[in-house]
Amino acid sequence: MDTKDFDARSYTDLLKGYIETQDERALYGAEQISKSFIKNNILPEEIVNLHIQALLEISPELHEEIHKSMNFLLEAMISYGLAHQEYQLLREKQLELKSEIHVAARMQKMLLKSEIPKTDELDIGVISVPANQMNGDYHHFVKGKDGSISIAIADIIGKGIPAALSMSMIKYAMDSFPESEMSTDAILASLNRVVERNVDPSMFITMFYAQYKPKSGKLYYSSAGHEPGFFYCSKEKRFKEIEAKGLVLGVNVDTTYSQYEQHIDKGDMIILLTDGVTECRKGQEFIERDEVLDVIKSYIHLPSQEIVNHVYRHFERLQNFQLRDDFTLVIIKKVV
């Protein structure tokens, strides 16, 4: 006797006992046999058919209408069983994909990790939070032997695992450059060629690249279509937008970029960000860029890392703790 025959005999005995006595011990037996059905992968329509056969054995004179209704239930369970199997397969694939994305996100975080350089002149704060598991934003720091600090902030137009792979490629391309010896416009031109040749044509990368040179006290920078940052002048106690033009990376292999410069005095700040900061929403409406500056100004007396943390928490609450885009904010304050 195979398992199905055993389950059928047990089911019939349990059903007969319950019909005759209404004893709840029979219901406990039904729970146990249900576990056997699951263990042996018995389909819903097979269980209904088992019930029909058991009823016919117990009551051969079963009323015709009840018999027809059970046949109707059997047909319904056949369709249900097929749909349930498809659902289970889709759920398993979804869980598998979710697991793969989780692993990819951990790898991305490890591969793109960039330590904030220690320097007496600059106080640097950074926060970068993905809206989903994969982060389409990227920031990168390099401290040169001459004390210079290089800063990159980028945003890829395109999300998910392809974006993560593209950012990893950009990171390792940047690591290969002698950055302290290259101008910011030359670095963007080199990265542009890498992106144009190796990244899917449907994806583009915006980037702002800057170098602070302690000997001159100046910030040299170039932009590849990136969200404009801000310069805070401590003497004038006001913000102004950093103006820098340039085409996004990956459009044209022959694109050239311009280098700009800004002298930085003690107390001055450079604010770099991605559009996930400036395009936060109140309900269905985007905030004004000035609102970002107002929030930064309210915490301007704090160290840079505390400022970016407070700004993030402010806009996280504003969006009911549901980011709609990756949020990256870098604040560089000159303290000497």
Q: Rounded to whole angstroms, how far apart are CA atoms 52 and 264?
A: 86
At residue 40, the pLDDT reads 78
Q: Which residues contact 150 (CB under 8 A, 6 or more apart)?
A: 140, 141, 142, 143, 144, 179, 180, 209, 210, 211, 212
| Domain hosting residue 48, numbered range | 3-91
Within a domain: residue 105? no
At residue 16, the pLDDT reads 82
Are residues 80 and 33 both part of a single domain? Answer: yes
Are residues 83 and 172 both part of a single domain? Answer: no
Are residues 192 and 79 both part of a single domain? Answer: no
Are residues 169 and 315 both part of a single domain? Answer: yes
Within a domain: residue 271? yes
Tokens of 166: 């593209």
At residue 136, the pLDDT reads 78
Are residues 217 and 119 both part of a single domain? Answer: yes
At residue 186, the pLDDT reads 94
At residue 26, the pLDDT reads 66
Look at the chain and report how many structural domains it folds into. 2
Q: Rounded to whole angstroms, how far apart are CA atoms 134 and 200?
A: 18
The tens digit of pLDDT for each residue in 141-192 reads 988 888 899 999 999 876 666 766 777 778 778 877 775 568 999 999 999 9
When computed from its CA atoms, the radius of gyration of the chain, rounded to whole angstroms, is: 32
Within a domain: residue 273? yes
Are residues 119 and 87 both part of a single domain? Answer: no
Are residues 205 and 313 both part of a single domain? Answer: yes
At residue 113, the pLDDT reads 77
Query: Following CA atoms 269, 273, 278, 283 in sequence, which dihedral angle do they give, to the nearest 10 degrees?
Result: -120
At residue 108, the pLDDT reads 66
Are residues 85 and 122 both part of a single domain? Answer: no
Region of 250 (left: φ > 0; alpha: ψ -120 to 50; beta: rest) is left
At residue 281, the pLDDT reads 79
Within a domain: residue 169? yes
CB 124 within 8 A of CB 272: no
Tell me the whole-structure pTM to 2 decimals. 0.72
At residue 1, the pLDDT reads 43
pLDDT < 50 positions in the chain: 1
At residue 58, the pLDDT reads 81
> Which three-class secondary structure string do you get for 106-160?
HHHHHHCCCCCCCCCCEEEEEEEECCCCCCCEEEEEEECCCCCEEEEEEEEECCH
Are residues 216 and 311 both part of a single domain? Answer: yes
The tens digit of pLDDT for each residue in 83-96 reads 777 888 888 888 88
- Which domain CATH number covers 58? 1.10.1240.30
Are residues 199 and 52 both part of a single domain? Answer: no
Are residues 124 and 80 both part of a single domain? Answer: no
At residue 202, the pLDDT reads 76
